[in-house]
A and B are shown apart, each in its own frame.
Chain A
Amino acid sequence: MSILTAILWRLAKAALTLLAIAVLNFFLLHAAPGDPAVVLAGEAGAADEKMIEQLRERFGLDQPFYVQLGKYVGGIVQLDLGYSFRQDAPVSQLILDRLPATLLLTLTAFGISLVCGIALGVAAAARVGKLSDSALTTLALLFYATPLYWLALMAVLVFSVWLGWLPGFGYETVGAGLTGLDRVLDILAHLILPALTLGLFFMAVYMRMTRASMLEVSQLDFVKTAKAKGLSGPAIRRRHILRNAILPVVTLAGLQAGQLVGGAVLTETVFAWPGIGRLMFESLAARDYNTILGVFLVSAAMVILFNIVTDIVYRIVDPRIGATA
């Protein structure tokens, strides 16, 4: 299968999956206890009798079930995610405003975790059985067991409250009126703590995976051949073992994208990072179901897109995949 057909096939599958999630959302709205119209209006206190009547009309709640489903899913296909009565704005607008911050945070965290995770995994595998290997593995195990949001809070406590090194709150200094490079640096300073805490857990995951994969590949025959040729240890690791060991790590990284987006909800909550995760948290307290479900759908779309990108990268890196799939 050529890369183009593969991409088209993936896109078709992605569209189907998103459609299925839209249907799921519809059923969830109706499964919520209470009148769907009231549920849609949210417990914002804004729901007077007249508005609920309008809602009933707009979503066809007085019509048969399949008509309602059609209207709802049809709306989503046209990127109409409904209206947030709590925030008095279309959900798609709310999400669009917040999406860049989330993309910046998750992609930075992903980059940090992948690069550091692979580097540490390679380092640990090269020193297998030694003290530094045990230290790294233990550390990874510890990060693996640490709740993300707690790590984030502790990071705020240490680096922001006690040491005062980094801002622990928000996206940029409010009212500082910074422009150009100063503004970029200001945002970067705000980005460090959220991105690091979000990335640490995944770094632990990738490190363990890389270490295991490196050790596995180093047992293979072609590595023996390389050794017999007289290549040095670092050269073998870099050119022969790592290149083969990295493939399962990339696969795993693609699969983990969903967790990264989920983790963003927690990190953004702690750091008041103005992304869609924080939006979801704010909507929870207000029972703003339209917004909650909208963020859910968009985060799923992000994950699917991410998976497609890793899949393409994977095919380019390893031509064998295309040949067998």
Chain B
Amino acid sequence: MWKRFRTNIGAMIGVGILLAVILIALCAPLIYPHGPWQMVQRPFLPPMSVDGLPLGTDTLGRNVAAQLAYGAQVSLLVGLVSTIVALLIGVPLGAVAGFYGNWVDEGAMRFTEFFQTIPNFALAIVLVAIFEPSLASITLAIAIVSWPPVARLVRAEVMSVRKREFVDAARLAGLSRPKILMTQVLPNTVSPIIVMASLMVATAILLESSLSFLGLGDPNAMSWGYMIGAARTVIRTSWWLSFFPGIAIVLTVLALNLIGEGLNDALNPHLSRKGRA
């Protein structure tokens, strides 16, 4: 499996970019010990115009490069944690629905369908606006709008796995139903979940940046979306203020998507050449 992943050029490029972003995020406090909010020079300095400020300064004279580095922390953190929370909601719900079927399935799927009908970005906006913007509320809001596809995927996987012969064998061996679900069925659904999770981190990063762009970011955390939102009104004079954070988002999200596709090809080789939507 690792061999197949390693020979996938796109996936390896993705891993390279992602490692670089992680490294920058981790090293941010070392390279820029004063943090992202400190004024360092005159405002609106274009990139490369002053030594030590390769990406210029923003509307308040803050170092854009430092802001980018600290923004990486927020994006990665929110992307990762919100995906984990979404998995914690979606996996149990989908597993129980798919395994027990009948009215449990019916109820769980109606619930999931309801959340899928609601426009998810609008719901995220409403949740963050009502519960005041903070890293916790943003993460939770993203998780709440991201879990339904997980539940559907896990349900479908569990439904197909539970009909397999080894599950019958486990039942004959006298295992209880919850135990069969936990030890026999769920472990066999892990690979599609991993693929979906890597793509979800990418979507979560996009969502977080969109919320921050609208002014719903954590006021104490520098983020890429906030940078673009703050630079929106000065786009005519200072293009670099919105250009670089955007590139950072594109690269990070692209890297995660490439990794997700690579994982998909490696874990589900029989599907690999079909591509996905």
Contact = CB atoms under 8 A, between A and B. Distances in A.
Interface stretch (B31-39, B95-103, B188-196, B208-216): B208-216
User: Which has the most chain B C-beta neighbours within 10 Å: A31, A295, A299?
Assistant: A299
B122 A28 contact: no
Interface string B247-277: 0011001100110000000000000011111
Given A209-B277, A303-B117, A265 B246 contact: no
A263 B130 contact: no
B206 interface: yes
Contacts of A145: 202, 206, 249-250, 253-254, 257
Contacts of A156: 235
Given A20-B114, A147-B206, A31 B119 contact: no
A208 B277 CA distance: 5
B132 interface: yes
**Binding site secondary structure of chain B:** helix
Nearest to B277: A209
A300 B119 contact: yes
Contact of A17 (B114, B132, B228, B277): B114
A289 interface: yes
Contact of B122 (A270, A300, A304): A300
Interface stretch (A62-70, A177-185, A253-261): A253-261
B121 A141 contact: no
B275 A208 contact: yes
A211 interface: yes
Interface string A134-162: 00010001101111111001101100010
Contact of A28 (B117, B126, B225, B277): B126
Contact of A285 (B126, B206, B215, B274): B215
A15 to B, nearest CB: 12
B232 interface: yes
Given A141-B254, A145-B253, A205-B277, A150 B131 contact: no
A267 to B, nearest CB: 11
Contacts of A295: 122
A317 interface: no
Interface in A234-268: 252, 255, 257-259, 261-263, 265-266
B250 A33 contact: no
A292 interface: yes
A280 B125 contact: yes
Interface in B151-188: none
B235 A289 contact: no
A265 B214 contact: yes
A280 B225 CA distance: 18
In this complex, the interface size class of chain A, counting residues with CB under 8 Å from chain B, is: 35 or more
Contacts of B114: 17, 20
Interface in A267-307: 269-270, 280-281, 284-285, 287, 289, 292-293, 295-296, 299-300, 303-304, 307
A144 B257 contact: yes
A141 B262 CA distance: 13
Contacts of A32: 130-131
Contacts of B250: 142, 145-147, 150
A266 B120 contact: no
Nearest to A304: B117
A312 to B, nearest CB: 17
A31 B78 CA distance: 23
Given A147-B206, A258-B118, 4 more contacts: A144-B257, A146-B246, A216-B274, A300-B117
23 contacts: A17-B117, A28-B130, A31-B131, A144-B257, A146-B253, A147-B210, A147-B246, A147-B249, A149-B213, A150-B246, A153-B246, A161-B235, A208-B276, A212-B275, A216-B274, A255-B116, A263-B121, A284-B215, A292-B126, A293-B126, A295-B122, A296-B126, A300-B118
Interface of A: 17, 20-21, 28-29, 31-33, 137, 141-142, 144-150, 153-154, 156-157, 161, 205, 208-209, 211-213, 215-216, 252, 255, 257-259, 261-263, 265-266, 269-270, 280-281, 284-285, 287, 289, 292-293, 295-296, 299-300, 303-304, 307
